[in-house]
Amino acid sequence: MHDLNAAVTIRSFDTGGAAYKKLSSFATISSVNTTGRHLPEQELILQIRDADVVIAGTERYTRDVIAAAPRLKIISRVGIGLDSLDLVAAKDRGITVLNTPGSTVRPVVEHTLALIFSLLKRIPDYNTRIRGGDFSVRPGTLLFGKKIGVIGIGRIGTKVAESLEALGCEIGYFDPYVPENTPRHWHAFPALSDLVMQSDIITIHSSAQQGETSIINKELLSSVRKGVIIINTARGSLIDESALIEGLKSGRITGAGLDVFPQEPYSGPLLSFPQVIATPHVASNTVESREQMEMEAVDNIIRHVQELRS
């Protein structure tokens, strides 16, 4: 019998995979979320109340949830974002929070590109029409030559920019913390408003803001170039939903590709717009990346526990 109890609270984890087997060889797995959905607060509390360590997803670890797990020492997140965790509450309790940033880059980059191409080439629209017997044609749009506005030029934003540049796009970006190795020929905009005025496609790769405030708001969207496309594979809180809806209705925004929403699962008014392509927060969820993230999350726990014991 292991002296550590582990809970797996993420909505999907391969219980037949190598990562799960490795975790079970290191700790007693006391509970696993098998519902396929994000656990609400009371269910989450029941899952982790006896846990020393947890494998977490994007379910919300509030102060009350954390307080209900007196033995908890490590939260290891499968994925990169930590905005679903009350980091202050975790710090107050001395709980270590870990994530898996390296595994998410390539799949999120590819998903971003897929959303862009789907919008420009009208692929979902054609797919729906042709299945209904409608073979009418509406012209698509070239990606080549488009001005791209990248918000957040970290690991993912940089790779998105490199990929789009290779496809013949011009790259501009806004980021108050610019890596030293950013190509000099990319246009660094001093203000976000300047970037959106010059961009045909805006793609968001920023971290969630403090207080989950929006960076794409009504004021900013009033200054975008008419016909702009907006892509968000970062965090739903970064876009003001009502402002986005207003922009779509007015035609100032011709399309949006969204993998993330302010509340998930999402069933709100954006889904009524045919020019919005929506996916359920799955940008990083490929077979290969999922295996890597799960193993990295388990390895994070094992490494940290061993460091504490040494």
Tokens of 296: 């990295």
HSE-CB at 287 with a 13 A cutoff on CA atoms is 0
The distance of Cα 129 from the centroid of its chain, to the nearest Å, equals: 30
246 is catalytic: no
Burial class (CB in 10 A: 0-12, 13-18, 19+), 272: exposed
Tokens of 271: 């889904």
**End-to-end CA, the chain:** 21
Tokens of 231: 């892509």
Instruction: Report yes or no: 205 and 230 within 8 Å, Cβ to Cβ.
Output: no
Q: CA 61, CA 86: separation in Å to the nearest integer?
A: 6
Beta strands in the chain (DSSP E): 5-8, 28-32, 53-56, 74-77, 96-98, 147-151, 170-174, 187-188, 201-204, 228-232, 253-258, 276-278
281 is catalytic: yes
Q: Which of 212, 264, 288, 303 is catalytic?
A: 264
Q: Which of 77, 155, 205, 235 is catalytic?
A: 235
Q: What is the DSSP letter of 77?
A: E
**Secondary structure of residue 31 in the 3-state scheme:** strand
Q: Which of 281, 290, 294, 296 is catalytic?
A: 281
185 is catalytic: no
Q: What is the DSSP letter of 103?
A: G
Q: CA 301, CA 93: separation in Å to the nearest integer?
A: 17
Instruction: Report yes or no: 236 and 260 within 8 Å, Cβ to Cβ.
Output: yes
The dihedral built from the CA positions of residue 44, 45, 49 and 55, taken in this order, carries a sign that is positive
Tokens of 123: 């692929």
Instruction: Report yes or no: 74 and 305 within 8 Å, Cβ to Cβ.
Output: yes
Q: Could you list the active site residues?
A: 235, 264, 281
